[in-house]
Amino acid sequence: MTSRLTLLAAFALAAALFAITHYAPIPYGLKDVTAAGGRAQILDLAPAFTGEAVHARLEAFGAEGRAVYQRFAVTTDVAFPLALMVFLLVFARFAGERASLPRTARGLVLAVPVLWFATDMIENLTIFTLIAQFPARNDLLEPNLGYVTLAKRALLLASLALPVLLLLWTMARRLGAGRNAPAN
């Protein structure tokens, strides 16, 4: 059974990597991308839904900003999501065990963080490819990038919400069982 300590350790790792990759002045961290891109907003955080909008955002980064953004997509923007996926998997397992879910249902709950991570990596690969091809246009990837980002966000929300809902359901079941127990 997954312990609370394991869950806490996985959370601490994800939180530490979030702080480092998003707030510390490290090479190819979010601060570095933002500074190199002249404060242009990265597509991961503010999706664009047309090819023109995606292209314009990449153009706003300038050559140096695009180079840093491209490296970010395959370094720190892989490290943090990987750590977050570990936490999400541990959290899903923790909640599934406590809810006494059947093996198949636990497998489905565990699949959601894996799908989230895969979608995040598809998003990163798309951004990397668009920057590598810049200034050439990509009529397949550019207009679809925003939808990949939305799918990523929905899967992240589901990865967090499912374990929380399972734990709340488990608590409600226990409270209900306590009320229905015969009094001595």
Residue 148 predicted with pLDDT over 90: yes
- Tens digit of each residue's pLDDT (9 = 90 or more) over 85-128: 999 999 999 999 999 999 999 999 999 999 999 999 999 999 99
Inter-helix orientation angle 4-23/76-98, to 10°: 160
According to DSSP, residue 99 is labeled T
Backbone angles phi, psi at 23, to 5 degrees: -120, -25
Residue 106 and residue 100: Cα distance in Å, rounded? 9
One-letter amino acid at 133 equals: Q
Give just the sign of the alpha carbon dihedral 138, 139, 145, 151. negative
Lowest mean pLDDT across 2-11, 157-166, 175-184: 175-184
- Tens digit of each residue's pLDDT (9 = 90 or more) over 131-145: 999 999 999 999 999
35 Cβ contact partners less than 8 Å away, ≥ 6 residues apart: none
Instruction: Please give the model's pTM, rounded to 2 decimal places.
Output: 0.93
Residue 182 predicted with pLDDT over 80: no
Residue 178 predicted with pLDDT over 90: no
Residue 180 predicted with pLDDT over 70: no
Residue 4 predicted with pLDDT over 90: yes
Compute the mean pLDDT over every residue in the chain, rounded to the nearest whole number. 95
